[in-house]
Amino acid sequence: MNFEQNSGKFQSAHGLRSRKIRIISPNGLSDAGGVERVMLYAYRALSEHGFRVDIIDQKDLSGSNIGRFFSFFKTGPLDFLAQSFGLSILANREHRSGSFIINNGYSAFFAKSDILFCHRYIRGARLAQYRVRSEQQPSSLSERRAQIDGHKTSRITRLIGSLKIFLYGPDEIAEMIAGHRSHIILAVSEHSQREWQRYYRLSSSKFKKLPNSVDTEHFQPDLESHKQQSSRQSRIALRILFIGSLTYLKGLDRLGATIEKARQTAKNWEFIIATPSSFNTEKFASKQNVTIRKGVSFAELPDLYRSCDVMYFPSIYEGFEMVTLEALSSGLPVVGTDVEFQHGRRS
């Protein structure tokens, strides 16, 4: 894996052998998503090379005096900033004691990070979301007027909506601060690096490119491929897999429209939705052609990929997602959207 191949370079460049390594990952090494799996790979690679590695996560924060103080903000709109700042305090304490800090995006935005993983660009994700929603707006003037009248949209409301596009949000400011406080930024794609450099005013000398990778021993096609093929052919329904959180950025609307179209046209398709939580699952709970699987573990993922016929990838924006790599490594073809990051990866 790429991180494992480069761990020797990190050792010689930063004298890691004599230092503790602390990886900041709010969800730990869970099965929550691609970011956590990248951290899992980093943890394994460093541990296998004899480094002393530990995780700083939400559990560490909640069990500390700092966490108890910031718990007052857990129900507010800036919950993520309170958590991020709390994790930053824990990380900076470790850094002052000599630990080597590996951070993720704005997970601990005020931490003094030795390495910061740049998985995606928050502002780019927001602009991509705005662009797609704008394309879905009514095309004719009469349709737009009818929509405005129907929703009683005021000029002030529309002005506020426009300002949100041009102004930086708290998460984007946090991400920018994290970039400036880091020593090295590991960008998963050229596109992510360019966006961070351009909009956050970061020097190119800070960046190293480290594309995501997968454990090909864990994610691989069925060794008896003819059995896998015959099993697929014996099924009546085409099994279509979606993996990810059920959010707009991950293509929630597109997924729903595709499922509904399949139902209306009597397509014999079965959709398998694997998602880390119950969020938005109620939108599909009553669909007869949908099976929902929550919290699929890392150990179960290869069998899930191999049990399906095709993976559907409707995301609006990605930094460099893991699921397509895992699917292809497992022998599962992928059908999806031309998301923003791909232009940067092709170049």
122-135 vs 170-180: helix crossing angle, rounded to 10: 150
Per-residue pLDDT of the chain (347 residues; tens, 9 = 90+): 455 555 455 555 456 677 899 999 999 987 678 889 999 999 999 999 899 999 999 999 999 999 888 887 766 667 888 999 999 999 999 999 999 999 999 999 999 999 999 988 887 788 777 777 776 655 444 555 555 454 555 566 666 666 666 678 888 999 999 999 999 999 998 888 998 999 899 999 999 999 998 999 999 998 765 455 555 555 678 999 999 999 999 999 999 999 999 989 888 999 999 999 999 999 999 998 999 999 999 999 999 999 999 999 999 988 888 999 999 999 999 998 876 544 444 33
Res 2: pLDDT: 59
Cα 307 to chain centroid, rounded: 24
Q: Please state the pTM of the whole predicted model.
A: 0.82
From the list 277, 278, 336, 270, the residue with the least C-alpha distance to 307 is 270
DSSP-assigned states of every residue in 185-223: EEESSHHHHHHHHHHHT--GGGEEE------TTTS---S
Res 344: pLDDT: 43
- Segments of the chain assigned to CATH 3.40.50.2000: 2-122+170-209, 225-346
Burial code (b: 16+ CB inside 10 Å, e: under 16) for 208-221 equals eebebbbbeeebee
Which CATH number is 225-346 given?
3.40.50.2000
Res 75: pLDDT: 67
Q: Strand pairing of 207-209 and 238-243?
A: unpaired
Res 52: pLDDT: 94
Fold of 2-122+170-209: Rossmann fold (3.40.50)
Res 70: pLDDT: 80
AA letter at 208: K
Res 347: pLDDT: 37
Res 345: pLDDT: 41
Where in 74-155 does DSSP place strands (E)? 100-104, 115-118
Res 346: pLDDT: 39
Task: State residue 318 phi and psi, 5-degree precision.
Answer: -145, 155
Res 222: pLDDT: 85
